[in-house]
Structure 1
Amino acid sequence: MRVAARRAGVRLLETANRRRARRAPAADTGTVRILLQHAYGMGGTIRTVLNLAGYLARERDVEIVSVVRAAEHPFFPIPPGVRVTFLDDRTRPRGPAARLLSRFPSVLVPKQENVHGSVSLWTDLRLVACLRSMRTGVVISTRPGFNLITALFAPPGVLTIGQEHVALEVHAPEMRRLIKRRYGRFDAFVTLTEADREHYARTLRHDPPARLLCIPNAVPELAGDVSPLEEKSVAAIGRLVHAKGFDRLVKAWAPVAEAHPDWVLRIYGGGTQKAEERLRARIEKAGLTGRVLLMGSSSEIGAELSRSSMYVVSSRYEGFGMTILEAMSKGVPVVSFDCPHGPREIITHGHNGLLVRPQKPALLAEAISRLIEDPGLRRTLGRNALRTVPAYSLDAVGARWDALLDDLQRTARGGVETLPVRDETRDEPRDEIRDEVRGEAGGEADRTPYPIAS
């Protein structure tokens, strides 16, 4: 019954798309809508999406469609000219339909997607209704669950761009299966790193999107001056989650604190109460109370970086590594695990920072101590870090988005193409199944030797 219902839905959607295609207006890139989970929340994706929206709003009509609203006020300022609308405003009383359907889990966002627990059947219906109400313009979706929905339900006449802020290999097998089936429908798909673009190219080789390209995030302007690199303070930034590897950073700091007891590690970022308690307990067990400080979230991270002499990345993986660029924008040298995928594409080992073999806290500790003990090297890396940042400025990165949108506009003049809706009840091609079993894990950063900092 479920398979029959799904196939009936596919046929209805194809019929509706053919009807829409016949009367769809010419595609237009002057209107851009960006799908975001929680525009008023905090986090790297939100900050960088707002940054991009502000740039595009200089010459375009830009609207951020926030799937949920769970806060009265935005954590980050909304750029001038950018409108924000909400599909599920949880700060206001909701009607009986919204309350009822919100009790049921999402059927469109896979369970393996991190955001699955924060969406519902109600948000499914609201998001599909939003997409189907569009007549023209561009829609940019910013996470895998929304990418899958946009690829399936965006109507003819609307140009679609998918964007990923995490690496493909992080996704569960079921997510990668759906990615293979649907991402080929995008007019463009954008990754943050070249390594991830190559991984997607291999994965989507049988059914690629019309354009597959890498556009990194732009570094935002931050408060605070360039750091003089004199404070005996090391900074780390990130949500208190497993991926950020703060457990490994605490382990690495133990020998640093023993050799340099006057230096302090400050970790900026929020998380659940349970995560904070777990990390605090780890700090106490390591005897590092007062030497490793949990600073919580800060909306003025630029000022905090200006008071730091080093920035450390202990992540197990990074989609890009925006905080690396933020630290560099203050002339702060970076010591990072060479984790997939972002750090290597920003940091040149020995030039603007140090890269160490991942999953090796002892090597991270050696690299940190090396910069503590060699202020000359610290300043050299900091100067070169400042020279790295202009390539990631908002104007430089925004120009690449302008070029993509101009290309989409030129191509769209050839007419609206209606792609058939793939029947997802059919089996995968055998070679794709074989790739899925193998996992296609790795990528170039995983198969090449890592530079060692010491």
Structure 2
Amino acid sequence: MKIRYMLLHAYGMGGTIRTVINQAGAMTEAGHDVEIVSVVRRRDRPRFPLDPRVRLTALVDQREGAPPDSTIRRIRRLLRGRIVPRGEFAGGYFTEGVERAVIDYVSSLDDGILVTTRPALNLISARRTPASVVRVAQEHMNLATHPEPVRRQIARHYGKLDAVVVLTATDRRDYQELLPGTPVVRIPNAINTLDQPLSTHDNRRVVAAGRLVAQKGFDMLIPAFAQAVRDRPGWRLDIYGTGQKRNTLRELIDEHGMADVIALPGRSSKLGEELADASLYALSSRFEGLPMVMIEAMSHALPVVAFDCPTGPADVLTHEVDGLLVPPGDVEAFAAAMGRLMDDRALRTRMGAAALKTVREYAPDRVMPMWENLFAELLEGHPEG
């Protein structure tokens, strides 16, 4: 099969980028012809390792020193209206020139499978990719989190796609209700490997990771940990990631007098080792798609404390089995749940062992056949298949 994955910025960081790169590598290993198309390029090399057999191309080079687009003025004159709706979380990337580059690319295709990976790209594909191409939309965020203008465009145009793939059963129900008659398939993201170093649950260390943005709720995690650690000396919290809220979070840490026990180490190239060195993982998100860093943490035998936010945590975790779910936004309940695990190593060990069993459902050998079967079915039923 000829498979093309389109990412907004394949050279950046983030769960979607990592999982799509992993998926591309697995499909190449299975013998398929695979290419990743990055809409923009802002770095020389990808941050995540890429199978050398996977071709990587970029549509718009935005690196410093890249030659300017000599056609930008002509593009601005020719473009009539924008496909990318207001409110799309990455809408700022889609200047007229960038949007036109995507439209021109998808319009030029005439065969194979095109997998697009966010609403902006899914909508462009639905409206501009020729019907001779199998068009698959991946949704990495739950439907309810998209602003109303985005949901309105999804309802209007996703029905032109050959399939919409979502991460959780909850999201599958929501999309099926919105898109009657459109194939909506649940395929979770796969972790890279189950062969990971395991936590001993001895270290007094909590780890969290993600972009330092409002969605991830670290502004709630910091006061929750400050409350939990008050009577539990020796414990510390490390929040890995970069983002626009870094200074705000640093100020919050100082306000709570936690500078000695809460750290913002930035991005880590050895996050797996940091997870194995911890004793529990904290997921404080306000909303999620499918929290892959949490699943990766579980592959290191870490129990999880998570807000029961939409969607993801409850689709993975079983409360009191492999982690603890607390009401969304309830900082005191989050503190109590962390404190419970901090106090009880036997409980951490039991839940960590259960987490290892849960995470098997996200192994590549479980997930990748779902993709191959879907692609084969779509090609078989496709007019040009």
TM-score under structure 2 normalisation? 0.95
- Kindly tell me: are residues 371 and 345 of structure 1, through their superposed partners in 2, closer, same or farther at Cα, counting changes over 3 Å? same
Alignment of 1:289-368 (within 5 A): 289-368=259-338
The equivalences for 1:356-395 within 5 A come to: 356-395=326-365
* 3-state SS in 2 of match to 1:56: helix
Question: SS of 1:57's equivalent?
Answer: helix
1:200 aligned residue (175, 178, 182) = 175
Report the structure number with the largest CA radius of gyration.
1
Q: Distance in 1 between matches of 2:328 and 2:156?
A: 32
Between the aligned partners of 2:300 and 2:73, the Cα distance in structure 1 is 47
Maintained 8 Å contact 2:285/2:307: yes
- Structure-2 residue corresponding to 1:22: none
Q: Percent identity, aligned pairs only?
A: 41
The one-letter code sitting in structure 2 at the alignment partner of 1:155 is P
Rounded to whole Å, the distance in 2 between the matches of 1:352 and 1:102 is: 53
Q: Please give the secondary structure, in 2, of the residue aligned with 1:123.
A: helix
Q: Deviations over 1:80-116 (max 9, x none)?
A: 3211110001122223224885899982212211111
The one-letter code of the counterpart of 1:213 is V
The amino acid of 1:304's aligned partner reads E
Larger deviation, residues 220-229 vs 393-402: 220-229
The offset of 1:220, in angstroms, is 1.4
1:180 paired residue among 155, 164, 167: 155
Q: Give yes or no for contact 2:194–2:363 (8 Å, CA) kept in 1.
A: no
Q: Which runs of 5+ in 2 are unaligned?
A: none
188 and 302 in structure 1: CA distance in 2 versus 1, 3 angstrom threshold: same
Provide the C-alpha distance between the structure 2 equivalents of 1:65 and 1:382, rounded to a whole number of angstroms: 38
1:170-196 deviation line (CA, Å, top 9, x unaligned): 111111111111011111110000000
Matched residue, 2:256:
286
Q: Using the alignment, how far apart are the partners of 1:106 and 1:299 within structure 2?
A: 41
What code does the residue aligned with 2:357 have?
A: R
Confirm or deny that 1:397 pairs with 2:367. Answer: yes
Letter of the 1:44 partner, please give it: G
Partner AA of 2:312 in structure 1:
G
In structure 1, what residue type is equivalent to 2:314?
Answer: R
* 2:198 equivalent in structure 1: 226
Pairwise mapping of residues 32-431 of structure 1 onto structure 2 (< 5 A)? 32-58=3-29, 59-91=31-63, 92-98=66-72, 107-205=82-180, 208-209=181-182, 211-221=183-193, 225-272=197-244, 275-412=245-382, 415=383
For the residues of structure 1 that align with 2:374 and 2:264, how far apart are their CA atoms? 41
Shift of 1:132: 1.3
Change (3 A) 1:64 1:360: same
Return the alpha-carbon distance in structure 2 between the equivalents of residues 374 and 322 of structure 1: 26
Q: SS state of the match for residue 228, structure 1?
A: coil
Deviations 1:327-351 (A, max 9, x none): 0110111111111110011101111
Q: CA deviation at 1:79?
A: 1.9
Give the counterpart letter for 1:214 in structure 2.
R
Q: Tell me the distance in 1 between the aligned counterparts of 2:127 and 2:234.
A: 56
**Structure-2 separation of matches of 1:290 and 1:222:** 34
Give the drift of 1:257.
1.8
Question: Residues 205 and 237 of structure 2 are in contact (CA less than 8 Å); yes or no, is this contact kept in structure 1?
Answer: yes
RMSD: 1.8
Asked if structure 2 preserves the Cα contact closer than 8 Å seen for 1:338 and 1:357, the reply is yes
SS in 2 for 1:293: strand
SS at match of 1:235: strand
- Consecutive unaligned residues of structure 1, counting only runs of 5 or more, are 1-29, 418-454
Contact 1:332 1:382 in 2 (8 A): yes
Aligned residue in 2 for 1:437 = none
Asked whether the 8 Å contact 2:188–2:367 carries over to 1, the reply is yes
Structure 1 CA distance, aligned partners of 2:73 and 2:193?
40
* Amino acid in structure 2 at the alignment position of 1:48: T
1:261 CA drift (Å): 2.3
Q: Distance in 2 between matches of 1:264 and 1:143?
A: 36
CA contact (8 A) 1:239 1:270 kept: yes
Q: Secondary structure at the match of 1:355?
A: strand
Letter in 2 for 1:195: T
Q: Which amino acid letter does the alignment assign opposite residue 93 of structure 1?
A: P
- Considering Cα pairs closer than 8 Å and 6+ residues apart, tell me whether 1 or 2 has the greater RCO: 1
Partner of 1:15: none
Letter of the 1:178 partner, please give it. Answer: Q
TM-aligned CA deviation for residue 370 of structure 1: 0.3
Residue type of the alignment partner of 1:163: Q
Task: Report the CA distance between 1:364 and its aligned residue.
Answer: 0.5
Please list every run of at least 4 consecutive aligned residues from structure 1 whose deviation after the TM superposition is greater than 3 angstroms.
98-106
* 1:6 equivalent in structure 2: none
Q: Distance in 1 between matches of 2:263 and 2:80?
A: 38
TM-score by length of 1: 0.81
Q: Distance in 2 between matches of 1:343 and 1:80?
A: 33
Please say if residues 212 and 246 of structure 2, whose CA atoms lie closer than 8 Å, have aligned partners that are also in contact. Answer: yes
Q: CA deviation at 1:416?
A: 5.1
Aligned equivalents of 1:400, 1:162: Cα separation in 2: 15
Contact map agreement 1:106 1:124 (CA 8 A) in 2: no
Q: Give the letter aligned to residue 117 of structure 2.
A: T
Cα distance, 1:363 vs structure 2: 0.4
Greater Cα offset, 252-261 or 152-161: 252-261
Q: Check whether the contact 1:106–1:120 (CA below 8 A) recurs between aligned residues.
A: no
